[in-house]
Structure 1
């Protein structure tokens, strides 16, 4: 347990690698003297899996105001630098334990963290096993399954990715990135049924109004992760015929934007161009 002020709040709380409970208190507060020792006891039992810090509201009114503290004790829980939960007053120890349990990563979340670390280290087989373990713990976690599908597509494991896509729940289309992953998967699945890129480029050059060839070329480019050239073809479809195949040019562009989330400046440029074309 440590005392925190405005000066060290960022270092102790926002940048903490551990979950943090911030106990807003004051020396004159009777309930605070009840809650404080309970929190300190649970922190000692936790063995370093989370930490407790205390903010004296009399001495740190700006911090208290920032977090809307009007009554104390007021406890705010932080995870990865974000305030994720809070309560006001004194809770029984059993409820305190339940509150703290929500801050600890589940077995599935730990497996996801392991998968990501292994992938970054270049251990693709180990990462694949960790992804599978995470989904065994949380089979209906569509966000995790979509991330695993993206991982499989990076390895060109199209059949495995397609099988995982079939295991998504009915809620999956509501997840961020769903349309992008589906676009990429469909493009890679259809690659064998399309002419090669050189032939499609020749068709487009011979007949610039051949929107079907432009769309097929865009699919080939998406499968190859050549997103900017794909956007050029899709933009031309939008310019020439907004209604072509139910506005597929624009819709596919939006999916490609999601696939290029790690290039926000490039995406911003293309979004402006699309907006100008549509207006």
Structure 2
């Protein structure tokens, strides 16, 4: 719990809410219901162990802040997430209702644990500890099976390591969501390309065969697309996108925009996790991803 003034409001409420929800309690020393509510909120803050931060504002001493939130009566509580008020309540609520309110809006303990494990995985990858990253991501998925971001990172890393069977097992619980999710759909496209190659569609000397057919007919889009899938299976990402661009430059809508969809999927796969930056700053975009996004836009919009 922290006392908020006009001077520390931006730091302790707005900026802090970018990483953890902040519950702002507007109160006054003379307010009897405030004296009832306050200790209960402090107890819940301790019990919820980091799932939210309690900030108290004396509405008489900080009238400018009270006016900013249009406080008409006290106690009034407002929940701030990502710098924005999302919900609130007035009056001294029973503990059970307060728990219901918090549980409705706050991330669960499992979600927070999974997020921490994801961060550990990214740190491990940055240090070159691939096995440590894999174990952390596996734990994140086990902790919070509904966390599709952690599952994406886990399946992607398995595929990068050539562990296709393990990747398919990890992907199976969300395969029905792939059609409606760009990121999950990208993983399915990658696995489909691996299956395409494994089925014998690209045998020995495949690259020479592709080149010969394309040289004979630059509009042989079936061969160009097969070559792109073969390149994707080898994780030759920029070569694959270059081939897909060759299709797009000649026919943007070929085969229900298959080339554009595959190109966008590759961008999803190769985009690295965004680094942490100071609040209010935009993380830099990976230069390769940025370059190929611009090339796609140039071709599609031309």
> Any gaps of 5 or more consecutive residues in structure 2?
273-285
Q: 5 Å matches for 1:1-279?
A: 1-13=1-13, 14-15=15-16, 19-27=21-29, 29-44=31-46, 50-58=52-60, 60=62, 63-64=65-66, 69=71, 71-78=73-80, 85-101=87-103, 103=106, 105-107=108-110, 109-122=112-125, 123-139=129-145, 141-168=147-174, 170-192=176-198, 193=200, 194-195=202-203, 198-199=207-208, 200-262=210-272, 263=286, 265-277=290-302
In structure 1, C-alpha distance between the alignment counterparts of 2:221 and 2:153, rounded to whole Å: 32
* Unaligned segments of structure 1, at least 5 residues: none
| CA deviation profile, 1:188-236 (whole Å, cap 9, x unmatched) | 3334432567423454344322212211222233334443432332222
Could you state the TM-score of these two structures normalised by the residue count of structure 2? 0.72
Conserved? CA contact 1:19–1:77, under 8 Å: yes
CA distance in 2: counterparts of 1:26 and 1:176, whole angstroms: 49
Question: Partners in 1 of 2:103 and 2:239 — Cα distance?
Answer: 48
Conserved 8 A contact 1:140-1:168: no
Shift of 1:162: 1.8
Secondary structure in structure 1 of the residue aligned to 2:24: strand
Query: If the length of structure 1 is used for normalisation, what is the TM-score?
Result: 0.77
CA distance in 1, matches of 2:269, 2:95: 46
Contact map agreement 1:152 1:158 (CA 8 A) in 2: yes
- The more displaced of 85-94 and 127-136 is 127-136
RMSD: 3.5
